[in-house]
Amino acid sequence: MFKEANNRLKASFKFEDFVSAFSFMTEVAFWAEKQGHHPNWSNVYNNVEIELTTHDEGNIVTKKDHTLAKKITQLYAKYQ
């Protein structure tokens, strides 16, 4: 689901509606906050775009990003 390019992990997620997309983002937000590692993301109606990079490591992809990407992918599976 996530693809690595230009020192970022990127993925797009599509949902049934805005409420589902926002619910997913809320779940990701709670989990990311616990990890102290936050995504760059945007939401337009039922689409969520996410980019992950580790800012305090010089904006490169690290294990933190891969861990968060895996969790995000698991959370998204609930909406399929």
Q: Where are the domains of the chain?
A: 3-77
In this predicted model, what pLDDT tens digit does every residue of 15-26 receive, in sequence order?
A: 999 999 999 999
Residue 39, class by beta-carbon neighbours within 10 Å (0-12 exposed, 13-18 middle, 19+ buried)?
Answer: buried
Strands (E), the chain: 3-5, 8-14, 40-44, 47-52
Task: Name residue 78's beta-bridge partners.
Answer: none
In this predicted model, what pLDDT tens digit does every residue of 33-55 receive, in sequence order?
A: 999 999 999 999 999 999 999 99
End-to-end Cα spacing for the chain: 13
Residue 7 DSSP symbol? T
pLDDT score at 1? 87
What predicted TM-score, i.e. pTM, was given to this entire model? 0.93
CATH of domain 3-77: 3.30.1360.20
